A = this chain, B = another copy of it.
Amino acid sequence: MEILDKLDIAILKILQQDNFTPQRDIGQQVGLSAAAVQRRMKRMKEEGIIQRNISVVNREKIGRPITLFVEVIMESEKAEYIDTTKAIFRATPEVQQCYYVTGDADFVLIIVVPSMHDYELLTRRIFFGNDNIKHFRTMVAMDLVKVGLDVSLDTILP
């Protein structure tokens, strides 16, 4: 089955907030037994609807207080070069998120580092070290107004 019913959505909403919520509690909230919740969770995990289950670590408390946005513009958009660059960004732990985009830029990155100095060193490695990068534009986050990977589940009509 590929379609989500109201119960699946109700379960996902809870799991997006806190995936340690006991299945019994979830069941109570959505009107199912714990067993039924468990089976639905298992199915959604198998189908890839639930992609991952993760802990979110506070970046400030572990000494990574600097969050940056970088727009990267490539010299050439040849698939070969793009793929190489994707692989580099993917493999760089400081690059928390990387999107290949249309519009003014080619890539948008979110980078998390301990200090601006570390960022400078990083730019040398991944930007100046890459001949195919024509230009990059950095913005520094002053306030993490909203951070998450939530997908809004309010208006799904299956």
Q: Which residues in A have some Cβ–Cβ distance to B below 8 Å? A: 2, 4, 12, 15-20, 47-59, 61-64, 67, 69, 86, 89-90, 93-105, 107-108, 112, 114, 137-156
- List of B residues within 8 angstroms of A51 by Cβ: 55-58
Closest to A63 in B: B156
Would you call A61 and B47 a contact (CB within 8 A)? yes
Closest to A86 in B: B145
Would you call A97 and B152 a contact (CB within 8 A)? no
With contact pairs A145-B100, A152-B93 given, residues A139 and B54 touching in the complex (Cβ less than 8 Å): no
How far, in angstroms, from A117 to B28 measured CA to CA in the complex?
Answer: 37
- Which secondary structure characterizes the binding site on chain A? mixed
Find the residue from A47, A99, A141, A154 having the highest chain B CB count within 10 A: A99
With contact pairs A19-B19, A108-B69, A137-B104 given, residues A144 and B99 touching in the complex (Cβ less than 8 Å): yes
Would you call B86 and A152 a contact (CB within 8 A)? no
How far, in angstroms, from A93 to B17 measured CA to CA in the complex?
Answer: 13
With contact pairs A103-B137, A103-B140, A140-B102 given, residues A54 and B145 touching in the complex (Cβ less than 8 Å): no
Question: Distance in Å from the Cβ of A116 to the closest Cβ of chain B?
Answer: 12
How far, in angstroms, from A59 to B50 measured CA to CA in the complex?
Answer: 10
Besides the known contacts A96-B148, A100-B142, A105-B139, 12 further A-B residue pairs in the complex with CB atoms under 8 A apart = A17-B52, A18-B54, A49-B57, A52-B56, A53-B56, A64-B151, A86-B145, A96-B150, A99-B145, A100-B143, A104-B137, A148-B149
